[in-house]
Structures are given as structure tokens and as C-alpha cells.
Amino acid sequence: MKKTLLAITIITLSHFTLQAQNPIAPCSDLFISEYVEGTNNNKALELYNPTLSPISLAEYRIIRWDNGNVYVDPFPAENVLNLPANITLQPNTTYVIALNLTDPTGTGQSAPIDVALQAVADTLLCPGCATGTGESRVMCFNGDDALSLQKLKSGTWVDIDIFACIGERPSNSAGGYSPTAGWTILPPYSAMPTNYDASTQGPYFFQYWTQDKTLKRKFSVKAGVNTNPSPQTFNASVQWDSLPQNTYTGLGSHSCECYPQNISNNYINSRTQVYPNPSSGIITVNTRQFSGFVVLTNIAAQTVKSIEISSLTDFFSMDISDLPKGAYTLTLLSNQKSTATPLVHKKVILQ
């Protein structure tokens, strides 16, 4: 028995030591950008490509480290979700994997919120969470399970992003382990603090961040976490923003400091479309995760119209019917940088 435990300890430590020796460069690889722990078994994970290049999902997989377990590869099949080999994720785009189980027997769909989740899923898994249902079991996390995004490098699977703490299972408000538990933002993060006073701090259950929440990666995060946190140190609020349960509206798009700072203006300009062009008055601009100022100038370089797009969007419309017919230049100035920098110059014809 002692020999078995010693062997497992050595393998586990060497695994995480390897991860620590290979830090991930900012904006260089996929990471988990959104986590949805919804009602019943409605779950989702969003992956984001912050790089300048398309990335094939063929050499990526997701591992569920359930209930504090630490596995040794080859992992149990139901703890491994292989990503679609035929999917290529373009720069500054996301891929959403969702689980939508509406009842324990899998006999039908029952809630309108399920339709909203399905609408934003690129891969939708519905077989269920019971033992024997296959890869969908990976998505059956309940707030007390760690997850990792892995990549195949030189024949070895390595963690390129870790959610929560592998090998640790947080306790619930009663101090026991159950699906009704999650990591918190209160030290020691995975267990009730000493002398916790519910009358002043509120029910300990409300302090959970990984259960019954949607978590979105902060704008400042530019790479995944590939060093497993020490026990009782994972504070979700450091890298994640918390949203109410069953919030799906942000799924399918993400923005971070890698974009637009790390992408050339020429690249953004080439991906932005203005239509119809020529126009009789209303134009639509289709771009990528833009917020800032839209400026229209005439052939004399005089500003004739400007508007502000206050929140991130992929497209917007602009009415230029009040301008004289002619040629104009449409410029996008991002407010995601420290100084307003032109991202897009497009010629627009008003006829």
C-alpha cells in the first residue's frame, strides 16, 4: 500500500513540475474564456484563440478532475473530451462546448433556457451524465470539479490551462463534500474560514464562485494557467468575473488584451466589411469585438460625422443619409488601447 501511494505521489509531482517549467507566453495558445455552471446539467465551456493564426482543435482535449481525484494518463475514458479534429479556430474567435440535459432520463427538452444555451453551442452534447454516457461526462461539472485544457506536444499531453485546483475538492457550508460545494473568494478558498460569521458575511453558500455561476475570463488575462495552484489558494476572482447562473448572452465571443494590441491594423482592416457600399444612406460595419469611436471624413480630410460605440460589438449600423453624395473615409478608433489608435480605414461611397 505504501509503495502504491509513493508511486502516485511521484508521478503527480513530476507532472506539475513539468508544467511549471514551461510557462505559456501571452497570446500564444488557446485558453478557457468562459465557464457556465447552469441549472441542473446545463453546462458550457468557451475556448478562445488569442493568437494571430488559425488553430486546429485536433490536438486538444479537456480533462475533468472530478471530486478532487488525480488521474494518471491514460485517464478514464469518461474524464476525457477530445475536441473535434475537423475544426479550425480562427484568430480572435471562440468555440463553445455545451451540455444540455433537460431531465434525468434524457426523454425530452423542457425549459426555454435550454434553447438559449443550444443557440450558442458549437458542439452540443446531450447523452447525459450517468456512468456510461461517454465524453459528455466531462461536462458534468458541479462547481467542485477541476478542469484542464490539454495540448499534445511532442507526443505528450500537457496542461495549457487549469480551472480551479487539480487534486482538491472544496467543501460545502457544512464542512462536508458534496455536489453542493464550490471554490470561494474567501481564504482558505476551498473550505469555510475559521470563525466564519454568517450573520455579517452572509450564508457561506453565497460565497461559492464555481457553483451556480457563469464565469467570464477577465480582459487582462492573455494566457492559460499551466501550473496547478497550491491547495487552498485558488481564488476565482483573480482571473474571472462572476455573472448570474444561466447567463448565456456572452457565450460565443470574447475579448482580451491580446486584441487589438497584438494584432496589426492591416489584419483588422482586412477583416472588416462595410455594406452596402455604395450606399444610399444606411451602412453596416461588420468587424471583430470593437468599441470606440467611428469617424467619417470627406475628401478634404474634414470630419463630417462621428459616433461612439460604447460596448463591444461585432457589427453596427450608421446612418449617413444626411451627408452630401460623394466619397468618404470611415475610420475606427479603438478605446481598448491606452491611446486611440486607428484600426480601420474604409472608403465609403454615398450615392
- pLDDT tens per residue, range 232-249: 999 999 999 999 998 888
More reliable by pLDDT, 270 or 34: 34
- The pTM (predicted TM-score) of the whole model is 0.71
Predicted local confidence at residue 341, as pLDDT: 53
Q: What percent of the chain has pLDDT over 90?
A: 48
CA angle 220, 243, 223 (to 5 degrees): 25
Three-state DSSP state, 306: strand
List, as one string, the DSSP characters of 165-230: -TT-----TTSS-SSS---BSSTTSSSPPTT--HHHH--GGGGBSSSS-EEEE-TT--S---SPPP
CA distance 342 to 160: 33
CA distance 337 to 243: 25
Predicted local confidence at residue 260, as pLDDT: 52
Residue that the C-alpha cell 490551462 belongs to: 161
32-36, 237-241, 272-276: which range is least confident on average?
272-276
For 116-153, what is each residue's pLDDT tens digit?
A: 888 889 998 877 787 877 888 999 999 999 999 999 99
More reliable by pLDDT, 264 or 73: 73
CA 27 to chain centre: 14
CA atoms within 13 A on the CB side of 163: 33
CA 232 to chain centre: 23
Q: Residues 281, 319: contact at Cβ < 8 Å?
A: yes
Ordered by where they begin, the domains of the chain are 2-243 (2.60.40.1260), 265-350 (2.60.40.3080)
Predicted local confidence at residue 9, as pLDDT: 35
CA 245 to chain centre: 15
Predicted local confidence at residue 303, as pLDDT: 86
